[in-house]
Amino acid sequence: MRIVLNYRHRNERLEEALQELGHSVAYNLWDIHEICAHGADAVVFEFKQILKEEAKFLNLSHKLKKAGIPRATWCLDMPNIGARRWKLSLLLKANLIDIFATHSLQELPGSSAAILYLPNAAWLSRYNMRGLTMDDLRDTDIYTTDVSFIGNIDSAKHPEHRHRTDFLNALGELLKKNRINYRFEDGRFLDFDAQIELIQKSKININFGCAADRDGERSWGLPERCYGIPACGGFLLSDERLHGRDDFVEGDEIVMFNSLDECMQKIIYYIKADTERRRIAENAHKRVLNEHTYKHRAEKLTTTICGLKKYRLN
């Protein structure tokens, strides 16, 4: 298939996955004649770009519909749509999009589009075992850090992460009192090798907060680190998210918490429960490799596109 990705910046994850499946990718074709000449099977729009540049999108959406070329988007922002929610409702109800892929099924209005649950995933070309084995990670001597977090923790420049930094600051104080060593790092300043080393040398890797959270409302969807950490063989302890139970088996593949106190209780337990901790981490690793990579997401998206095209031909 020939897929056009109309994104402001390259979507390397999706691009790599589509190419791995044998599809070709072209970027930012907004002229219908150029799209048709390219032989495009579908156009995938960046969701944020649809909301920000509606006139540009509406013009092309109408022409793609007339040409019979499927229109898709992948939303990673639910429920953090804010004042633009009316645009989302219009997008879904007015036949402006054919496939609405989303990391969360939260608060979706009625739709004439095909709704496709498409969560985040593991980017395996970046996050992987890096030569270590599960036997290596069962060796307790490998661990230099009890608890770690990697992600954006600059709430001065990014106020949407204030809730996260407040939580991590409070957690850090509790960890100090309990003499538990920890590292909370801003992932923007660690290269992939350094991130993987920290994940693999930490007994417990924390997930808290997500860019899709809004005004204290937690997104149902899991952020990418919840798939990347298991891909590296790390043990994940995440704040509770509804879709966590859709993508993993709680207690066997993921451990979640609802409060600071519950997080601390589970940290104290799993630091010492070496065998159980590694069992869960290894189960999660297998689940990610079998179901939660970007190749799996691209396959589900292109299969849906093919089904739509066949339906129209019939």
Quickly list DSSP for 143-158: --EEEEEEE---TTT-
Choose the CATH number for 134-291 among 3.40.50.720, 3.40.640.10, 3.40.50.2000, 3.40.50.2300.
Answer: 3.40.50.2000
CATH architecture observed for domain 2-119+293-313: 3-Layer(aba) Sandwich (3.40)
Q: Which residue has the tokens 């429920």?
A: 79
Confidence band of 313 (pLDDT split at 50, 70, 90): low
Q: What residue spans define the domains of the chain?
A: 2-119+293-313, 134-291
Residue 312: pLDDT band by 50, 70, 90 thresholds?
A: low
Q: Would the CATH topology of 2-119+293-313 be identical to that of 134-291?
A: yes
Is it the case that residue 118 has pLDDT exceeding 80?
yes
| Predicted local distance difference test score (pLDDT) of residue 209 | 94
Residue 222: the pLDDT is: 97
Instruction: List Cα–Cα distances, 263 to 147, 196, 259, 266, in angstroms.
Output: 11, 23, 6, 5
Q: How many residues does the structure list for the chain? A: 314
Question: Distance between CA 272 and CA 138 in Å, rounded?
Answer: 13
Q: What is the mean pLDDT of residues 213-242?
A: 95
Mean predicted confidence (pLDDT) in 86-96: 91
Q: Where are the beta strands (DSSP E) in the chain?
A: 2-6, 24-27, 42-46, 71-75, 99-102, 114-117, 145-151, 182-186, 202-207, 236-239, 255-257
Quickly state the pLDDT bin for 42 (edges 50, 70, 90).
very high
